[in-house]
């Protein structure tokens, strides 16, 4: 998600400073952005000049303190609350007073993350969809303390990206994942109970409801660990058994079968 966000921000004219936990991760990010932009050029969606200018706007750093002077921070670390909170706590001492902090979290409480910073009024959710360069939506989530100016500034960024914002209140998993993840989880139950196999479930939903991907293929695309993490946020946060993660989903994650990124999920990518 981080490389996709850097990609669209740079194409829209923003200077981007990308950070990650290792040089290797940063190099992979730049490689992915280059590949995706080259594909956009070859399909005539982006000119070679715009690609070159966008790539020149992206720089990288391994030092979190370098982000201190930026106007907007978009955190896109793994979907683990403790990790995200630790990143914000490390960042806060270096921040300029005007910097807006946002998280690309797909489910975690914005209000709780904001409370770990010195500026809950300048903190909100900025949730892109995967693949970021293709998907039109950005969910904007206000925490309990987010002020109007911060929301307006983020809304303007979404418009400059040429994307569409939908605003959501700060409840577990917001709108998209509140609806999408129970559907994916139900598809895993359907497999678990033997109602269908992987092919029949995905074919049914693709051709039966005109979804671009079947739910199991989409789960592999999102990452089964991310799907499980979001189901756990729904289950814990809403305290309703209807959000119980399917045991088969848990088992796959425990096996390290995380979908496309690990080479195996409901499908085999090796």
Burial code of 232-269, b = ≥16 C-beta within 10 A, e = fewer? bbbbeeeeeeebebbebbeebbeeebbbbebebbbbee
43: left (phi over 0), alpha (psi -120 to 50) or beta: alpha
Shortest Å, Cβ 4 to ligand CAA: 6
Alpha helix locations (H) across 223-259?
A: 224-238, 247-254
For residue 45, state whether it binds ligand CAA (rule: CB under 6 A).
Answer: yes
Beta strands 137-142 and 123-128: pairing type?
A: antiparallel
Helix or strand run (H / E) with residue 23: helix 23-42
For residue 216, state whether it binds ligand CAA (rule: CB under 6 A).
Answer: no
Of 106 and 146, nearer to ligand CAA (C-beta) is 106
Which 106-125 residues touch ligand CAA, going by CB under 6 A? 106
Shortest Å, Cβ 194 to ligand CAA: 26
> Could you tell me how many residues of this chain bind ligand CAA (CB under 6 A)?
20
Binder of ligand CAA out of 10, 218, 224, 258 (CB under 6 A)? 218
Furthest-apart CA atoms within the chain: distance in Å: 56
For residue 11, state whether it binds ligand CAA (rule: CB under 6 A).
Answer: no
Name residue 61's beta-bridge partners: 19
**Do 154 and 140 form a contact (C-beta atoms < 8 A)?**
yes
Residues 172-191 as x/- pattern, contact with ligand CAA by CB under 6 A: ----xx--x-----------
Shortest Å, Cβ 3 to ligand CAA: 9
For residue 55, state whether it binds ligand CAA (rule: CB under 6 A).
Answer: no
Which DSSP string do the residues of 111-139 spell out, in sequence order? HHHHTTSS-GGGEEEEEE-SSTTT--EEE
For residue 36, state whether it binds ligand CAA (rule: CB under 6 A).
Answer: yes
Which residue has the CB atom at the shortest distance from ligand CAA? 106
Where does this chain bind ligand CAA (CB under 6 A)?
36, 39-40, 43, 45, 106, 129-131, 133-135, 176-177, 180, 212-213, 218, 222, 226
């Amino acid at each position: 998600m981080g490389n996709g966000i850097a990609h669209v921000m740079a194409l829209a004219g923003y200077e981007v400073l990308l950070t990650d936990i290792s040089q290797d991760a940063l190099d992979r990010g730049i490689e992915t952005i280059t590949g995706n932009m080259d594909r956009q050029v070859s399909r005539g969606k982006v000119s070679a000049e715009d690609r070159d200018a966008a790539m020149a706007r992206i720089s990288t750093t391994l030092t979190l303190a370098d982000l201190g002077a930026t106007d907007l921070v978009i955190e896109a670390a793994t979907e683990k609350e403790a990790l995200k909170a630790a990143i914000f706590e490390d960042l806060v001492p270096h921040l300029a007073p005007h910097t807006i902090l946002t998280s690309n979290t797909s489910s975690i409480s914005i209000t709780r993350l904001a409370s770990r910073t010195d500026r809950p009024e300048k903190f909100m959710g900025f949730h892109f969809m995967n693949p970021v360069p293709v998907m039109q939506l950005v969910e904007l989530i206000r925490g309990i303390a987010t002020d109007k100016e911060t929301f307006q500034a983020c809304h303007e960024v979404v418009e400059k990206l040429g994307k569409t914002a939908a605003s959501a209140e700060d409840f577990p998993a917001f709108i998209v994942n509140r609806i999408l993840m129970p559907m994916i989880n139900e598809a895993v139950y359907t497999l678990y109970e033997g109602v269908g196999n992987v092919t029949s479930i995905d074919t049914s939903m693709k051709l039966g409801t005109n979804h671009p991907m079947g739910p199991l293929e989409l789960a592999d695309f999102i990452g089964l660990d991310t799907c499980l993490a979001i189901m756990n946020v729904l289950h814990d946060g809403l305290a309703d058994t209807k959000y119980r993660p399917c045991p088969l989903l848990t088992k796959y994650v425990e096996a390290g079968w995380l979908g496309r990124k690990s080479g195996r999920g409901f499908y085999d990518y090796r």
